[in-house]
Amino acid sequence: MTVRNWLTLAVLVVDAAVLAVVELLFLPLRFDGYVLPNALGGVPVPLSALVAALTTPWLVSVAGRLSPKLLVAAAPLLAWIVVVAIFGMFGPGGDMVLISDWRSLLLFACGALPSAIVLGRVLATTLTAPQ
């Protein structure tokens, strides 16, 4: 890999970590009158899960284009999982940022599962490609 590819991979990993923090902070978002209007009586809005489902697989696919190696292609996914786990359990000031309901599971499922599928596709195409 070239220096440019290493720098691109570093940006992808940092981007995955920042997105994980932002997704965790917006996880408790709901229509309750504080950030969103009180139009629906406090209905939760799983916007973080949607952002995770769109961005994390894209980061994995871009990393997979840099190098066919497993650790390079999986680096954004691994960074996202580690940040969600550590920052979610031991957040700022010792607070637990992961809330105890279905939105936390949805965030993890929407971030990790599509990314794992994309990672499998990246690895399968590199293994079956003619040498």
**Mean pLDDT of all residues in 83-99:** 82
Select the highest-mean-pLDDT range: 32-41, 58-67, 97-106: 58-67
pLDDT at 114: 95
Query: What percentage of residues in the chain have a pLDDT greater than 90?
Result: 50
Q: Is 43 exposed, middle or buried (0-12, 13-18, 19+ CB in 10 A)?
A: exposed
| 60 closest CA partner among 51, 73, 79, 78 | 73
pLDDT at 44: 81
The pair of three-digit structure tokens given for residue 124, joined into one six-digit string: 């399968």
Q: pLDDT tens for residues 37-51?
A: 777 777 888 889 999
pLDDT at 129: 55
Q: What is the mean pLDDT of the chain?
A: 87
Q: Is 120's pLDDT higher than 80? A: yes
- List Cβ neighbours of 8 (8 Å cut-off, separation of 6 or more): 62, 66
pLDDT at 55: 95
